[in-house]
Chain A
Amino acid sequence: DTGVSQNPRHKITKRGQNVTFRCDPISEHNRLYWYRQTLGQGPEFLTYFQNEAQLEKSRLLSDRFSAERPKGSFSTLEIQRTEQGDSAMYLCASRDTGSTGGYTFGSGTRLTVV
């Protein structure tokens, strides 16, 4: 198992464009999480899935953000009409349901909106 994989590692986009990120979790993990992290801050929760079901979505997440996990394996996070304030590191993590252990994180996607 290669761990949690995120693509792309870096994305530079112009304000107003749409972007999509992909996350491939550890195959045995049925829970998948998206977090956002800005400089000097800890990761901020965005949303999570159990298999293909989206169980929780942060109130901080505007309607420009959408996430999917159609087959309960990989997930995508799309940001429409990007704004400069969307610039951040987007982190994906996975773990098993019922686990009291921590997450396994991917290396993240660094988004810069210019």
Chain B
Amino acid sequence: TQLLEQSPQFLSIQEGENLTVYCNSSSVFSSLQWYRQEPGEGPVLLVTVVTGGEVKKLKRLTFQFGDARKDSSLHITAAQPGDTGLYLCAGARGTNAGKSTFGDGTTLTVKP
């Protein structure tokens, strides 16, 4: 059973469009991270959210943590080809920075 479900699995859009991807779970997390990964490379951390209802913005990316700390979303405004990649969410349970559990990601392709 996958602890973190990400949707959609694949998304292909045109440059300039907006999009939202989701990360859902039945479990409560103390913190949740979003990463972006390019082929052949390790994931790169985009953001960490820790408070229920928290919203963080990083340029054209907006991240939201659900009120119950079980789900999160990533919204990209005016997508660019450079946004292409695998977007992974990961959750940690407990406050002692043990292991994080990853979803299987959303593969985003932005066409010029």
Contact = CB atoms under 8 A, between A and B. Distances in A.
Interface of A: 4, 31, 33, 35, 40-45, 48, 55-56, 91, 93, 95-108, 110
Given A93-B42, A102-B90, A42 B100 contact: no
Contacts of A55: 98
Nearest to B88: A42
Contact of B105 (A35, A42, A91): A42
A100 B104 contact: no
8 contacts: A4-B42, A42-B4, A42-B102, A43-B90, A55-B98, A97-B96, A98-B97, A102-B100
Interface residues of B, number: 28
B45 interface: yes
Contact of A107 (B33, B42, B102): B42
Interface string B68-112: 000000000000000000001010100111111111110000000
Contacts of B40: 107-108, 110
B25 interface: no
Contacts of B13: none
A37 to B, nearest CB: 9
B97 A105 contact: no
A45 B41 contact: no
Contact of A101 (B6, B42, B48): B48
Q: Would you list the 3 A-B pairs with minimal beta carbon distance, nearest first?
A: A105-B42, A42-B102, A102-B33
Contacts of B102: 35, 42-44
B30 interface: yes
Given A48-B98, A98-B97, A102-B33, A43 B50 contact: no
Given A102-B48, A107-B42, A95 B88 contact: no
Contact of B50 (A41, A95, A100): A100
A47 to B, nearest CB: 9
Contact of B45 (A31, A98, A102): A102
B11 interface: no
